[in-house]
Structure 1
C-alpha cells in the first residue's frame, strides 16, 4: 500500500466479486502499460455506462492527505470501516500511512457491525483518531449506545459517499459526534470540500448558473486526477487542472458550497425541471421518514412523474398525503410526489450511494 504513495508501483483496487473484477479489468486496462508517474487508477461509482478509472499520482494523493490532516487539526491514525476498493475507503488507509501510522481495518464483508466498530475504535492508537462512514452506517452507530459513546471520543468522523440527510446530521450533532460532512469523488482523490468549505488549495467554480446561483460545480486543486484511464479526451477533464462534475450546486456569500443535486438525475415533469435532492430534503423533515430517495418514473401525460421511496423511522406511520403537503408547502405542487412507496431499505451502490437506477428499473411499468 505504501507503494502507491512513493510511486514505486501502480495499483488498481478491485472488489472480491469476480464478475465486477473482470468488468474493471477490461474497462480500465489492468495489466496494460501505464505512465511512470501514475500510481493509482481508482474506479468511479457512476450510475451508468462503462466504469471509468481516475488516474492519480503520488503527488495528488499526498496533497489530499496533507490537506485533510491540516483541516482536521493534525496527522493521526485511521480506522477503516469502508470497502477499500472505493476511494473513500482507500484514502482512509493512505491518510494513515502518509501520517506514519498503521491503520486499523474492520472487516465489513459480512456487513457493518456497530459493536465491532466500537471495539476497533476503542483500540485505535495514535495522537489523533479518525474514521469515515457512509450515512447508512452512521444510522446503525446512533442506534447503538456503545458505538455512539466510542465514536464520541474520536477527533473526527468523516461522512461522505452520499448526501447526509439533515435529520441525521442533527441527530449526530445532538449525540456529540465529531461529524464532518465531506464532498468529493474518485476524480478528486476523495473528499476535497469539508462542511462546504474547500480544503487548502482547492478552488470551486459554478458554471452556467441560474438566477438563483445554481449551476455545474467545477473543481480544481493539486488533488485533481490526471484524467481517466485510456480516455484522454474525456470532456470532464477538458480544462487543464480542473474537473467538471455532474453535480449542481451553489456557493453562498461566505464561500460555502451546497450541493443541490445532479444534472443527470434531474426529473423533467410536465415541462418543469425538479431536482430530486431538494424534494428529499423536504420529505426528510417528516419524523416518520428515516431515509428517502426521489426519482422520476415514466408517465404518459407528464413524461416523468415524481415518486418518493421512503424507509420508515419507526416513530410513526408514513402518511403520503402529509408528505405531499409538506413538499407542496416547501417547494410547489409540481414537485410533490405522485406516489409514495415504502421500502424496508433503499438499494445502494458504491460507497453507500442510493442506486436510483435500480429503483427506476424495478418500478417502471
Structure 2
C-alpha cells in the first residue's frame, strides 16, 4: 500500500485492519468485528463473516465495472474504510492510503489521487468530504480522475448531488450500514443478492448475502440482528430508515427516528435540511446545513437550523429570515425554525459522518447563551 503522506500510527492501523480482512476472507478468523458509527447514540459491535464481506465486494465490482485501484480516505475502524481494503485485496491492487492523522484536506486528497496507477480508479467518500472537495478547485479536478465515486455514510443533500453531477463527476449514491457489510443499494438499486421490503410503517427492511451474523455481546455471544418481516418471511434486518420503492428503485425518506413533534405535528427533519440547502444553492452559498430538534416548553420540540460560516453565532438577519421563509413554504408552519445558528465547522465522527449529538450540544449552548425562546 502506498501512503500519502506517511504517518506511523495510521500505517499500523491500516496494516492491522488489512490483515484482519485477509484472515476473515481466508476463513482463518470467524468474524470481522466492526463498530457502528454511533452518530445518534451508543455504538454496537457487529460481527461480519468472510462470506458476507466477500459477497458485498464482489457485487460492488459487478455493479461499477470490475476491479480497480482504490484511494482510501475513510477510517479503517468503520465499515466503509474496511470495505475499501477488502475490495483492494480481492482485486490484488493495493490502495493508496491518505493519512488520517489530521482533518480531511483537499490538497492531500489531490496528492494521493495522483499516486493511483491502475486503469480503473475508485474512491469512497462521505458527503462532508465531497462538499469540501467541490469547494476547492484542485479537489474538484482530482475528483474528475476517478471512474466511480461511491458516496454514502449519510444522506446527501440533493443540491450537493446536483453540483457534483453538473461537474461531470461519476457519483454513485450508496445506501447501507455496518449490518449490511457497507453499501448494499447503489443509486436506488439493490446489489445482486440483496432484497428490499418496505414495512407497513414505511420502514426499510433488508435481507440477503451481505447481512452480518449478529451483534457481538461482551460475553462473546451473538445477538441476532434479523427478524421476521410483516409477510412472515425470516431473515430481515429492520433498519431505522423510512422509504418506498418506485419502479424497482428504493427512495429514502429519512430516518424513522429523525422526526420531531411540534405542537402535536410530526416534522421530519431531512426535508427541512433539504429545503434550507436548496435556498443556499439558489443564493450561491455553498455552506453545510443540518436541521435539528430542540426541546421547547410550549411546543414540545422546535426546529433549529445549523449552517457553517465564519464564526459561531445566532443569526438574526435577512439570511436567517430567508431560511425560515423557505422552510415554512416547503415543509409547513410546524417546521418553521426557532433559530438559525452558525458554526465554523460541523463536528464529525471518525467515520466522517456528522456527530449529531455533539452538534446538538453546540447548538443548545448558543441558544442558551443568547436565551432564544
| CA displacement at 1:276 relative to structure 2 | 0.7
Match of 2:9?
Answer: none
Does the 8 Å CA contact 2:40/2:356 hold for their aligned counterparts? no
Match of 1:242?
Answer: 236
Q: In 2, Cα distance between the equivalents of 1:116 and 1:359?
A: 26
| CA displacement at 1:175 relative to structure 2 | 1.5
Matched, 1:188 2:180: yes
| CA displacement at 1:350 relative to structure 2 | 4.3
SS at match of 2:192: coil
- Note the residue ranges of structure 1 that are not aligned, 5 or more in a row: 10-37, 210-214
The 5-angstrom pairing of residues 48-63 of structure 1 reads: 49-63=41-55
Match of 1:227?
Answer: 214
Does the 8 Å CA contact 1:325/1:336 hold for their aligned counterparts? yes
The 5-angstrom pairing of residues 256-295 of structure 1 reads: 256-287=249-280, 288=285, 290-295=287-292
Q: In 2, Cα distance between the equivalents of 1:75 and 1:277?
A: 35
Q: In 2, Cα distance between the equivalents of 1:205 and 1:66?
A: 23
Change (3 A) 1:127 1:4: farther
| CA displacement at 1:161 relative to structure 2 | 1.4
SS at match of 1:46: coil
Does the 8 Å CA contact 1:311/1:346 hold for their aligned counterparts? yes
The 5-angstrom pairing of residues 333-348 of structure 1 reads: 333-348=333-348
Match of 1:66?
Answer: 58
Number of residues of Structure 1 aligned to a counterpart in Structure 2: 328
Q: In 1, Cα distance between the equivalents of 2:39 and 2:128?
A: 19
SS at match of 1:349: coil
Change (3 A) 1:309 1:121: same
Q: In 1, Cα distance between the equivalents of 2:189 and 2:158?
A: 17
Q: In 2, Cα distance between the equivalents of 1:361 and 1:143?
A: 27
Q: In 1, Cα distance between the equivalents of 2:61 and 2:210?
A: 14
Q: In 1, Cα distance between the equivalents of 2:136 and 2:355?
A: 26
Match of 1:5?
Answer: 25
Q: Deviations over 1:187-223 (max 9, x none)?
A: 01111111111111111111124xxxxx111111100
Match of 2:314?
Answer: none
Q: In 1, Cα distance between the equivalents of 2:163 and 2:240?
A: 29
Match of 1:321?
Answer: 321
Match of 2:6?
Answer: none
Change (3 A) 1:289 1:139: closer
Scaled by the length of structure 2, what TM-score is found? 0.83
The 5-angstrom pairing of residues 131-280 of structure 1 reads: 131-209=123-201, 215-230=202-217, 232-233=222-223, 236-239=225-228, 240-252=234-246, 254-280=247-273
| CA displacement at 1:159 relative to structure 2 | 1.2
Does the 8 Å CA contact 2:128/2:353 hold for their aligned counterparts? no
Q: Greater shift after overlay, 90-99 or 147-156?
A: 147-156
CA RMSD of aligned residues (A): 2.0
Q: Deviations over 1:280-336 (max 9, x none)?
A: 11110013362111111111111111111112499xx86122112111221211112
Q: Deviations over 1:138-171 (max 9, x none)?
A: 1222233233222212110111112111221111
Q: In 2, Cα distance between the equivalents of 1:51 and 1:199?
A: 26
| CA displacement at 1:51 relative to structure 2 | 2.5
SS at match of 2:278: coil
- Note the residue ranges of structure 2 that are not aligned, 5 or more in a row: 1-18, 229-233, 312-316, 369-373
The 5-angstrom pairing of residues 349-360 of structure 1 reads: 349-360=349-360
